A = this chain, B = another copy of it.
Amino acid sequence: MEKIIHRYKGKGFKLTPQRLAILKFLEGNNEHPTADEIYTGLKNDYPTLSVATVYNTIETLRDRGEIAEVTIDPERKHFDPNTTPHHHIICMECKRIADIFEDYTSEIALPQEVVEEFSVAGNHIDFYGVCRECRG
């Protein structure tokens, strides 16, 4: 909380109550919530919060590189406050997304012709599986 305030007290980004609430909601949250889940999770405490502000804020944060957009679920976008490069596994049943903190970059060297065609900036691995709970 102190850390959040300190972190975002730079110029060009006003720390409004709404933004602070969204940042607090995301801080340390490893559930990879959707925009609607952020909104639903906050609207009781912030009844005047609008869904547009949630989208505005997560878009701003995403553009500033403060949060990451997770594309593993074709149904909707998920957001991740952890921007250190890492990978994800999704349960194909319940759509729960978990983190994988391994750096495989040196293991996944690209073939010559791809390296010649593209300047490669990064990678992200989607793993697919079924979680323990969904296996019963």
In addition to A117-B132, A122-B128, A125-B125, 4 A-B residue pairs with Cβ atoms within 8 Å of each other are: A74-B77, A89-B110, A89-B120, A121-B130
Contact among B89, B110, B123, B126 for A118, CB-based, below 8 A = B89
The residue in chain B whose Cβ has the minimal distance to the Cβ of A135 is B119
Contact among B69, B110, B128, B129 for A100, CB-based, below 8 A = B110
| B residues near A118, Cβ cutoff 8 Å | 89, 91, 98, 127, 129-132
**Which residues of chain A have a CB within 8 Å of any CB of chain B?**
69, 71-74, 77, 89, 91-92, 98, 100-102, 104, 107-108, 110-111, 114, 116-132, 135
Contact among B92, B98, B120, B130 for A128, CB-based, below 8 A = B120
